Amino acid sequence: MGVSTNQSPDPETAETTATPPDPREKTIHVLQTVLTLVSAIALCLAATVVLLVARGPAASLVTGTTPSPTASATYFTKYIDVNPGAVKPGAIVVEIHSDYQCPWCARAEQIYGDALGQLSQSGDIDLRIHIRTIIGDQVIKNDSSERAGIAAVCANQVGHFWAYHTTVFANQPAEGVGYTDDQLRSVFAAQAGITGADLTTFQTCYDTRATADFVTQMEQEGAAAGVNGTPAFFVNGKQVSFDLQANSSTVQPITAAQMLSGLQQIVQ
């Protein structure tokens, strides 16, 4: 371990040679004991990590938990409630802060989007989306995050939020390119199934920026709570870290059953 000690006396001369005890030996012994304990603790931590990873997709849903910045039973107040009418009594509240220009938000959507959508439809979770504009406002310095957010809230007003939300992420451009108005008001609307009178209402809403104030309120509330990065996930009011498979070139979506199992482990 890089610590050298004095050699022991020769057995044949040990009885006739009186060597006074070296005070350094006691110090060295203490250091060796401490290092042994530290090594044992490190091995235990490593074993714990291996066990967590080996438990499978449901367990690896979460990589860590920290208290919510708000630590409030009321959670946040400005959000899109995806399927409020379907929520079962006692459903797990899942809140996601997401920016439509954030690449890691798009990855989270690829991994968890379908599962979250299914659990929201079945009422097993109360899914709330907080649209954020951090990337456009602070990183890329464009208005695409805001315009996409305005469009998404307009889609919510005609009952097509989740389809529109997933469509925007599925068509996320390269970082810095941004979305065009034609994409947001026409192309994505068509792909999300917004037609007829709903399309007219949606496009009027987008063109007049009718939901801009609400998008601003979502951003301001999130920033005031200390949520300064996306994606950010909260489960029953506690901030958690979902596994975004950062080292994988191909993401592996999880099933609704795996998602629900992982969420139930968090709230136990």
- Is pLDDT above 70 for 58? no
Count the residues in the chain: 268
- pLDDT digit string, tens, across residues 66-109: 444 443 444 799 999 999 999 999 999 999 999 999 999 999 99
Q: Which residues on neighbouring strands pair with residue 239, listed in sequence order?
A: 66, 234
Residues with Cβ < 8 Å from 248, sequence gap 6 or more? Answer: none
Domain boundaries in the chain? 1-54, 60-267
- Is pLDDT above 70 for 56? no
- pLDDT digit string, tens, across residues 140-195: 999 999 999 999 999 999 999 999 999 999 999 998 899 999 999 999 999 999 99
CATH topology of domain 60-267: Glutaredoxin (3.40.30)
- H helices present in the chain, as ranges: 23-54, 103-122, 134, 144-157, 161-170, 181-182, 188-191, 196-207, 212-224, 256-267
Enter the DSSP assignment of 208.
T
